[in-house]
């Protein structure tokens, strides 16, 4: 009971809420889904446009900070703890991970076949441009913003990672604890949503290989396996566990990417890559505001852009804390530009390669135009068409599991930092608590997808994240103001 005596009410409240939520998901999946569905409709109707405006403003804000004199400020003393390659590998494995396999084929093809607007560019370029938009600069801007907040608190202000410290004029302890509780709530729901989706795709891959559907026992087994390995990796720590696993993930990702590229028209891949990036840069402002030629229907925005922005927001505190933790010794400018540019370009090449390969297969009539409609099997269908495709499918499944383990172990590490507030390196005791709790909520979320009114776990994820990330979207504005004022004061005091 030492934990309950020594730690603050914030952690106790988190444990209670998530324990109760997980049990409700498991015991009452249909009722839980209906509550989430009703609330998500209300949030989308009132605050949908807020997500779009916020995403664009954060991108522009980070660029201003990076290229201003404030960007020269170093995050902590000494040399960076990790090499640039390890830093980028850990960042990318935690920030995107399993999602790039889930959407690698399905999203580019979907955007080509069902653009949602009257398109002015070739179908392929539009499809890649939209996919780049959802997975590129804005996504990483959300991550970069919170990474900047946390790095500033940890390495410049020497505070702990509670984001309420960005609002020093809030003297009411109840309000500050509520703010920090909302951050934790959003973080956990974002993590378990991504893990539930990832487990569902691993399940789809295994079913694809064996040629039959294995039910809830497979989902439970995968959940136990992933959380057990993630907890072990997290307990080993950043250097011995998470860093090595992240490097393995990136190596396998590059192998799979090279396999697809060399089985496709390489010239066409890089032509699409270049043209789509150029189109994204040209259209970025109207695309970000859904105006002009990009005035999408509300249904499209809800299913795609609102959902993605809510997803990135939900992951932003968790990913931001992790990126901040591994960025000690870098400058603010290095952090921002590293987060915004390198991972985005990596994702663009990934989606271009898989998407171009899928279009070539459709155009050559080796597969039907509907072959990639199922988001959970689309990537496996593509890989199976190539030489040694069976082994490529196995590699993709292993890579999915590796990314999920990395995401979960990073989440356990970060949430343990929330509860073990006096330490950058949290104790194993806290990791055990968060590992078990995340497992319970994730298992409950899988139950919602299988036994509720949701047509699939993806639908449940979309609705929950739009709801759970709203508070963080609203809090982002005062966080930005408080951080900017504090950074300027700190900069001016050093100048004096």
Task: Give the pLDDT of residue 457.
Answer: 60
Contacts of 257 by beta carbon, 8 Å cutoff, 6+ apart: 349, 350, 353
Task: Give the pLDDT of residue 6.
Answer: 43
* φ/ψ of residue 367, rounded to 5: -135, 160
Contact status, residue 242 vs residue 234, Cβ threshold 8 Å: yes
Contact status, residue 350 vs residue 257, Cβ threshold 8 Å: yes
Task: Give the pLDDT of residue 212.
Answer: 65
Task: Give the pLDDT of residue 171.
Answer: 63
Task: Give the pLDDT of residue 461.
Answer: 67
* 106-113 and 123-135 helices, crossing angle to 10°: 130
Work out the average pLDDT over 134-149: 93
Q: What residue has token string 């980028």? A: 88
Contact status, residue 194 vs residue 403, Cβ threshold 8 Å: no
Alpha-carbon distances, residue 427 vs 40, 183, 417, 420 (angstroms): 37, 21, 9, 7
Residue with the larger pLDDT of the pair 60 and 471: 60
pLDDT band at 207 (very low <50, low <70, confident <90, very high): confident
Q: How many residues does the chain have?
A: 496
Task: Give the pLDDT of residue 456.
Answer: 58
Q: How far apart are CA 316 and CA 321, in angstroms?
A: 8
Task: Give the pLDDT of residue 5.
Answer: 44
Q: What residue has token string 């999203």? A: 107
* One-character DSSP codes across 356-405: HHHHHHHHTTSS-TTTT--TTTHHHHHHHTSTTHHHHHHHHHHHHHHHHH
List b or e across 111-143, with b for residues whose CB sees 16 or more CB atoms inside 10 angstroms.
bbeebbeebebeebbbbbbbbbbbbbbbbbbbb
pLDDT band at 4 (very low <50, low <70, confident <90, very high): very low
Residue with the larger pLDDT of the pair 432 and 142: 142
170, with CB counted inside 10 A (0-12, 13-18, 19+), is middle
pLDDT in tens, 289-340: 999 889 888 888 888 898 889 888 888 887 888 788 888 888 999 999 989 9
């Amino acid at each position: 009971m030492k934990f309950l005596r020594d730690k603050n009410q914030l952690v106790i409240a988190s444990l209670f809420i998530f324990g109760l939520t997980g049990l409700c998901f498991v015991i009452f999946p249909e009722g839980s889904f209906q509550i989430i569905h009703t609330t998500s409709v209300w949030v989308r109707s009132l605050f949908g446009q807020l997500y779009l405006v916020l995403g664009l403003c954060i991108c522009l804000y980070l660029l201003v900070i990076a290229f201003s004199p404030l960007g020269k400020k170093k995050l902590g003393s000494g040399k960076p703890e990790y090499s640039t390659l390890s830093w980028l590998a850990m960042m990318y494995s935690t920030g995107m991970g399993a999602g790039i396999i889930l959407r690698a084929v399905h999203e580019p093809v979907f955007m080509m076949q069902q653009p949602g607007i009257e398109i002015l560019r070739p179908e392929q370029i539009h499809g890649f441009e939209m996919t780049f938009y959802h997975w590129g600069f804005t996504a990483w801007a959300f991550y970069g913003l919170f990474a900047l907040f946390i790095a500033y608190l940890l390495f410049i202000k020497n505070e702990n990672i509670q984001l309420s410290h960005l609002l020093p004029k809030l003297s009411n302890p109840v309000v500050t604890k509520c703010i920090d509780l909302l951050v934790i709530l959003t973080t956990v729901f974002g993590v378990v949503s991504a893990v539930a989706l990832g487990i569902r795709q691993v399940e789809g891959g295994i079913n694809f290989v064996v040629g039959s559907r294995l039910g809830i026992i497979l989902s439970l087994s995968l959940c136990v396996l992933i959380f057990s390995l993630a907890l072990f990796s997290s307990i080993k720590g950043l250097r011995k566990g998470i860093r090595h696993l992240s490097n393995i993930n990136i190596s396998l990702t590059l192998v799979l990417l090279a396999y697809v590229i060399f089985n496709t028209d390489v010239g066409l891949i890089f032509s699409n890559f270049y043209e789509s990036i150029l189109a994204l840069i040209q259209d970025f402002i109207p695309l970000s505001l859904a105006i002009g030629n990009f005035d999408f229907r509300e249904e499209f925005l809800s299913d795609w852009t609102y959902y993605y922005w809510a997803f990135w927001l939900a992951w932003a505190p968790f990913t931001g804390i992790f990126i901040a933790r591994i960025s000690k010794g870098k400058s603010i400018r290095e952090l921002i530009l590293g987060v915004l540019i390198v991972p985005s370009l990596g994702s663009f090449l990934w989606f271009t390669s898989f998407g171009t390969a899928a279009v070539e297969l459709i155009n050559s009539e080796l597969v039907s135009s509907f072959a990639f409609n199922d988001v959970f099997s689309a990537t496996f269908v593509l890989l199976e068409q190539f030489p040694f495709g069976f082994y490529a499918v196995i590699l993709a499944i292993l890579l999915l599991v590796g990314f999920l383990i990395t995401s979960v172990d990073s989440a356990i590490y970060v949430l343990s930092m929330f509860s073990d507030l006096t330490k950058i390196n949290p104790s194993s005791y806290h990791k055990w608590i968060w590992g078990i709790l995340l497992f319970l909520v994730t298992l409950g979320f899988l139950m919602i997808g299988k036994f509720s009114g949701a047509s699939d776990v993806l639908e449940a994820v979309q609705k929950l994240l739009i709801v759970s990330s709203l508070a963080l979207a609203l809090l982002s504005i005062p966080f930005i103001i408080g951080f900017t004022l504090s950074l300027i004061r700190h900069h001016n005091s050093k100048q004096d």
